Structure 1
């Protein structure tokens, strides 16, 4: 992602939109690479937003936004971002909403601006191999969890919920997502490329692939 930003932006202060940015991991990596970057992070989850604000301090603008609503971008401070970056987040949106969402960030980009979405995107040209790579990746994750080398998602949320400061925010999160917020809808990379093309981007392609995961990129 950041290599693509570096290739397209002159200077060391790109204007970036971290879409569904969660705890701010993309923003923090962007600031490590571009210390003068001007970053806006948007998310809906109150617990994740609290963590993002605590880690980013005053180095980024952190806003609450509901990507399921077409007016989510009304409070953004800019309309000419150099890049919109997102990872493992928009897959919880239904197909028709994600199709629209690809078009909305396009209008927030400057001419020639970049959108990158990294997520679970099977390669429909290699279904058997992609499935097997996904199985092996899951086995490696399970081994790390069992060995205590990393927290599973559920264990991580359990610890966050037990925190005296974050716990009330996790309860608010459950009110927002009473049944969980991810339908685990992971269409193949060809679907994403078609949706980006339909949204009007001039260049669309696969920027990176690792097993069953990929990052698609598009230029306005």
Structure 2
């Protein structure tokens, strides 16, 4: 299949599409990797959690060429793009369902130095996030770090006017990006559906996500509380635009 598909092109198209939702995405990635190094040192084991087609993994492999990098995701199409488009001797991609106990078994027995994620964990509900935080609390070594750049509601029950304002500001950012011609999420997936080589992977994807249920949106308070309960010694937001946060937690 690999000779029929421009895998690198699909990864670039994904990055371009995602930049419509996070216009400062490249800056966020650079900041995340800089924070990893400043807090945990140059990592020996690095995890790209809910990695999609490997955007963070590719950048981590360039910055930390001696690190073992593992990208985890459940989406078969995005994982295949990652495997085909992101090269590295010390880099691998594996399936993991973050809603299933024991998903971290693919990491082996050793703890990791850093875990990063972006624009993905908002698909979880608060109970899922709680369980993921507990798992990361066991898998990240003391002094290691977790970073997540993603949507986290401010809390419609806690600060309703500020929450509504943050959502409105976020929607305006997205609308402006797409008005300027940036491809949106649905258009990317529609294009993928038109690629004959992806047919089997998309069928498998539909089966895997057929029963995906999501409760209420994760709030910033949910995230802070989950990682505190999981034993992280420091948790804080290091950057925010509307309801997009760069969240950091030191183990």
2:92 to 30, 55, 61: 61
Once the two structures are TM-superposed, the CA of residue 131 in structure 1 deviates from its matched residue by 2.8
Once the two structures are TM-superposed, the CA of residue 61 in structure 1 deviates from its matched residue by 1.1
1:29 paired with 2:59, answer yes
Once the two structures are TM-superposed, the CA of residue 192 in structure 1 deviates from its matched residue by 0.9
Once the two structures are TM-superposed, the CA of residue 91 in structure 1 deviates from its matched residue by 2.2
Counterpart of 1:150 in structure 2 is: 182
2:74 to 44, 54, 72: 44
Counterpart of 1:2 in structure 2 is: 33
Assess, with a 3 A threshold, how the Cα gap between structure 1 residues 5 and 14 changes in structure 2: closer, same or farther: farther
Structure 1 residue ranges without an equivalent (≥5): none
For residues 183 and 216 of structure 1, the distance between their equivalents in structure 2, rounded to whole angstroms, comes to 21
Runs of 4+ in 1 over 6 A off after TM superposition: none
Stretch deviating more after TM superposition (117-126 or 162-171): 117-126
Equivalent runs, 1:115-126 vs 2, <5 Å: 115-124=146-155
Counterpart of 1:99 in structure 2 is: 130
Counterpart of 1:173 in structure 2 is: 205
Structure 2 residue ranges without an equivalent (≥5): 1-31
| CA-to-aligned-CA distance 1:20-60 (integer Å, 9 cap, x gap) | 11111111122232233320011010001011111213441
Assess, with a 3 A threshold, how the Cα gap between structure 1 residues 126 and 7 changes in structure 2: closer, same or farther: farther
| CA-to-aligned-CA distance 1:136-193 (integer Å, 9 cap, x gap) | 332342343344x2111111001111112223211211111126x4637433212211
Stretch deviating more after TM superposition (138-147 or 102-111): 138-147
| CA-to-aligned-CA distance 1:67-124 (integer Å, 9 cap, x gap) | 1111111122452211011122222223222101101012111221111122211335
Higher helix share: 2
After superposition, the CA RMSD in angstroms is 2.2
For residues 201 and 74 of structure 1, the distance between their equivalents in structure 2, rounded to whole angstroms, comes to 21
Counterpart of 1:205 in structure 2 is: 236
For residues 6 and 63 of structure 1, the distance between their equivalents in structure 2, rounded to whole angstroms, comes to 24
Counterpart of 2:104 in structure 1 is: 73
For residues 183 and 52 of structure 2, the distance between their equivalents in structure 1, rounded to whole angstroms, comes to 17
1:135 to 151, 164, 168: 168
1:215 paired with 2:246, answer yes
Assess, with a 3 A threshold, how the Cα gap between structure 1 residues 92 and 206 changes in structure 2: closer, same or farther: same
| TM-score, scaled relative to structure 1 | 0.88
Contact map agreement 1:82 1:109 (CA 8 A) in 2: yes
Counterpart of 2:4 in structure 1 is: none
For residues 30 and 127 of structure 1, the distance between their equivalents in structure 2, rounded to whole angstroms, comes to 37
Please state whether the residue corresponding to 1:193 is helix, strand or coil. Answer: helix
